A and B are shown apart, each in its own frame.
Chain A
Amino acid sequence: MTALSARRPGRGHRTRRPVAAPRARRRHRLRVLAFLSPWLIGSGLFFGYPLLATVYFSFTRYDLFSLEYVGLTNYRFLLQDEDAWQSMRNTLWLVVVMVPLRVLFGLGAAQLLTQLKAGGSVLRSIVYLPYLVPPVAATVAFVFLLNPGTGPVEQIAGGLGIPMPDWFNEPGWSKPGLTLLGLWAVGDVMIILLAALLDVPRQLYEASAIDGAGPWQRFRHITLPTISPVLLFAAVTGVIQTLQYFTQAMVAAKVAAGQADQPGTTTVPGYPDGSTLTFPQWLYDEGFRQFNMGYACVLALLLLAVSMAFTLVLLRQFHAFTDEEGSG
């Protein structure tokens, strides 16, 4: 092991690793394999195989009982599937509106926390905690809070004379309702941005203070450039998470519909009017409620392609640190 650890990449002087004896090398290789084995087997079984199978099934019509090769039919169907397009528009809406709002709000809250002298750690916990509230519970709570009949928000707004929309029962307001829920659960974004803000070297602020920079100039020219990799990380992971947005949309539709009409009648997903039908929900509906598994695989591949594009952005960022890290 000592021979191998002599190599320290990224330190300027690259010492060649002395050639180890073949036996030692083989032992080393076996040891690595043994440690990695759970994951090597796992990524084959639960990542490699299903990925290939998804491609295969996408060319078939399969309902768990009969399998039939249909060529590109599923792909052609996607082009004329109105529900699929609507679900894509809904997911796009969330990506374009909710993700930036969450990052901005998280940044604002984090910035505020760095300015507080008293009660900072209490506020940090209060803002972080909703992120840990189980999404199903949080969604049920928000549907209750914003419900037009007995909801506290409606009661308070009514008392103040502020008109309120019907939120989760109104197609135009259901996604803004989900966005409010997303802002309440901003803790994950806030905490990594807070860590980034606290990491900005103090000397930079001191130097700019001597130069007479105002707070906005300091934020614009020191804080933002320093934390921009973390902001990018927060935005890209936010987009990837939002592409998978499922639980909150589905539960909100279910719970809100349960109060508008009789339970059990909500067979069409995305109440009200398909406005909360996100792309993964449509995939779930096709695959596991209508058992069009072949077509669901086409949707899965589309989701994979878009997620991978954003993952590549992340990987380029990670690139830097896997090169620099020296474990000596």
Chain B
Amino acid sequence: MTDVTSPYRAEPGLAASSGATGGRPARRRAAGGTRGRRTLYWIATHAIAIALALMFLAPVTFMFLTAVMTDEQALSGALWPSEWAWGNFADVMSAEMLRWLGNTLLYAGVGTVFMLVSSVPVAYALARFRFRGRRLALVLVITTMMLPPQVVVVPMYIVWARFELTGTLWPLIIPLLFGDAYSIFLLRQFLVTIPKDYADAARVDGCGEFAAMIRVVLPMARPAIAAVALFQFFYCWNDYFGPLVYADPDHRPLAVGIATFRAAHNVEWNLTMAATLLTVLPVIVVFFLAQRVFIQGVTLTGVKG
């Protein structure tokens, strides 16, 4: 029993010493013997933690430092900018970049709204109703969730080509109006934890099932709804494969645009980094505003159910 710093140990020690005063001297001696080790352990874990934090922060730090370098400096391999070229951020906000941003917001914004409208009732039904085939439906949701997007892309492309929608982002947005498996699953996992009695009470008061869902259950499920909305928004914001298949240059979102940025601005790493940072920024801001939502949401999809 060498490491006693673990939070799990803190309580039993206290409880024991307050309960049985007779054993005190011996216990104190034991504690004195491990104090040196405890300090060492504390130093070791915190040193590793700091090293880990620095490693994880380094990429974004260097991106930022390069993004504010002048062209010559970025070519010199310097690590610290001698002159802060803040204008780089303005320079990359070209008309093209703004169009990419507009396309991204359309895809992510409309897509998220569509997903919510369609997925919430489905998740509610899977969590609350008992019906034959319910388990099969759940199995199907999980299977769809795990299905690689590349599997069905060829026939879907052919269909959207018939409707002359290839070239735009609509082939990626419209399907979200019919539910998204990942969101359905996550919402369902949360909704089963809400006791049935609330909705039943609303129904006794004369609400229909749909009204009970909207007025009683959904307000209680706000954290889960926020989580799926955020995940969907960022899924669209980050999606590369879908737009690469469907979008023509006019309908490109940021993810596809940024990937071509460097080829277009050969060797200008500072501008590439500035543009790339601009796509990262919104994600980081939203994360700090809604950190709890994110972390709860992720753990909800784990096998916790």
**Contact segment of B87-95, B121-129, B216-224:** B121-129
Please state if A141 and B273 are interface contacts (CB–CB under 8 Å): yes
In the complex, chain A residues whose CB is within 8 Å of the CB of B303: 229-230, 233, 317-318, 321
| CB closest residue in chain A, given B48 | A112
Q: A26 within 8 Å of B by Cβ?
A: no
- Identity of the chain B residue whose Cβ is nearest the Cβ of A312 in the assembled complex: B143
Residue B21 is within 8 A (CB to CB) of chain A in the complex: no
Complex contacts, A149 vs chain B, CB 8 Å: 77
Q: In the complex, which residues 7-44 of chain A have their Cβ closer than 8 Å to any Cβ of chain B?
A: 7, 28-29, 31-32, 34-36, 38-39, 41-43
If A32-B131, A255-B259, A283-B150 touch, whether A247 touches B241 (CB-CB below 8 Å) is yes
Contact A152 B62, beta carbon cutoff 8 Å:
yes
* Contact indicator A325/B118 (Cβ below 8 Å): no
Contact with A along B142-164 (1 / 0, CB 8 A): 11101111111111111101000
A109-B52 contact in complex given A42-B178, A140-B272, A196-B302, C-beta closer than 8 Å? yes
Asked whether, in the complex, the Cβ of A144 is within 8 Å of the Cβ of B272, the reply is yes
Residue contact A118 to B77, C-beta cutoff 8 Å: no
Task: Considering the complex, give the chain B residue whose CB is closest to the CB of A29.
Answer: B131
> A125-B291, A132-B283, A315-B142 known; A114 and B131 CB under 8 Å?
no
In this complex, the member of A192, A195, A327 whose beta carbon has the largest number of chain B beta carbons within 10 angstroms is: A327
Contacts of B143 on A, CB cut-off 8 Å? 308, 311, 315
- With a CB–CB cut-off of 8 A, which chain A residues contact B119? 38-39
Asked whether, in the complex, the Cβ of A215 is within 8 Å of the Cβ of B2, the reply is: yes
- Give the A interface residue count (CB, 8 A): 123
Q: How far is the CB of A71 from chain B (nearest CB, A)?
A: 18
Q: Is A103 an interface residue (CB 8 A)?
A: no
CB distance from A196 to the nearest CB of B (A): 7
In the complex formed, the residue of B with least CB distance to A124 is B295
From residue 118 to 135 of chain A, which have CB atoms closer than 8 A to chain B? 118-119, 122-130, 132-135
- Are B200 and A118 interface neighbours, CB within 8 A? no
* Chain B residues in 8 Å Cβ range of A88: none
The number of chain B residues touching the other chain, given as a range, is 35 or more
Q: How many Å lie between the Cα of A42 and that of B141 in the bound state? A: 11
Find chain A residues with CB under 8 A from B74 CB.
150
A215 close to B3 (CB less than 8 A): yes
CB-based nearest B residue for A233: B303
- List, in ascending order, chain B residues with CB within 8 A of A192's CB: 298-299, 301-302
Q: Are A136 and B238 in contact (CB under 8 A)?
A: yes
Given the known A-B contacts A307-B146, A314-B142, are A35 and B125 also in contact in the complex, defined by CB atoms under 8 Å? yes
A115 contact from B5, B144, B299, Cβ within 8 A: B5
Q: Which residues of B contact A118 (CB under 8 A)?
A: 46
Q: Indicate if the CB atoms of A134 and B142 lie closer than 8 Å.
A: no
Q: Is the CB of A5 within 8 A of B196?
A: yes
- B302 and A233 form a contact (CB under 8 A): yes
Residues 247-297 of A at the B interface (beta carbon under 8 Å): 247, 250-251, 254-255, 258-259, 263-264, 280, 283-284, 287-288, 293, 296-297
CB pair B263 A263 closer than 8 Å: yes
CA distance A195 to B150 in the complex (A): 31
CB pair A259 B267 closer than 8 Å: yes
Are A39 and B1 closer than 8 Å at their CB atoms?
A: no
Q: Could you say which of B152, B203, B269 contacts A54, with CB atoms under 8 Å apart?
A: B152
In the bound complex, do residue B8 and residue A202 qualify as a contact, i.e. CB atoms below 8 Å apart?
yes
With a CB–CB cut-off of 8 A, which chain B residues contact A46? 152, 156, 175, 178
CA distance A158 to B14 in the complex (A): 52
For B46, what are the chain A residues with a Cβ–Cβ distance below 8 Å?
116, 118-119
Question: Is B97 an interface position by the 8 A CB rule?
Answer: no
Contact with A along B240-281 (1 / 0, CB 8 A): 110011000000001110111111101101001100110110
Q: CB distance A315 to B139 under 8 Å?
A: yes
Answer whether residue B36 sits at the interface, using C-beta atoms and an 8 A cutoff: no
A304 near B: Cβ within 8 Å?
Answer: yes
Instruction: Say which one of A77-85, A92-100, A163-171, A206-214 lies at the interface with B.
Output: A206-214
17 further contact pairs, Cβ within 8 A, besides A36-B125, A140-B276, A327-B192: A36-B126, A38-B119, A39-B122, A42-B178, A57-B155, A116-B46, A133-B284, A134-B237, A134-B258, A137-B276, A156-B79, A195-B302, A199-B304, A259-B267, A293-B154, A311-B142, A317-B303
Using CB atoms and an 8 Å cutoff, list the residues of chain A in contact with chain B.
1-2, 4-5, 7, 28-29, 31-32, 34-36, 38-39, 41-43, 45-47, 49-51, 53-54, 57, 62, 64, 109, 112, 114-119, 122-130, 132-142, 144-145, 147, 149-152, 154-156, 184, 188, 191-192, 195-196, 199, 202, 205-206, 209, 212-215, 229-230, 233, 237, 240, 243-244, 246-247, 250-251, 254-255, 258-259, 263-264, 280, 283-284, 287-288, 293, 296-297, 300-301, 303-304, 307-308, 310-311, 314-315, 317-318, 321-322, 325, 327-328
**Top 9 A-B pairs ranked by shortest CB distance?**
A42-B178, A53-B155, A35-B125, A263-B263, A50-B152, A39-B179, A38-B118, A205-B8, A192-B302
> What are 25 pairs between A and B in contact, CB < 8 Å?
A1-B203, A5-B196, A38-B119, A39-B178, A46-B156, A46-B175, A115-B6, A115-B7, A116-B45, A117-B42, A132-B283, A134-B238, A134-B280, A136-B255, A137-B277, A138-B59, A150-B75, A244-B148, A246-B240, A246-B241, A254-B262, A263-B263, A297-B154, A304-B147, A327-B128
Q: Which B residues are closer than 8 A to A by beta carbons?
A: 1-3, 5-9, 11-12, 42, 45-46, 48-49, 52-53, 56-60, 62-63, 66, 74-77, 79, 118-119, 121-122, 124-131, 135, 137-144, 146-159, 161, 175, 177-179, 184, 192, 195-196, 200, 203, 209, 234, 237-238, 240-241, 244-245, 254-256, 258-264, 266-267, 269, 272-273, 276-277, 279-280, 283-284, 287, 291, 294-295, 298-299, 301-305
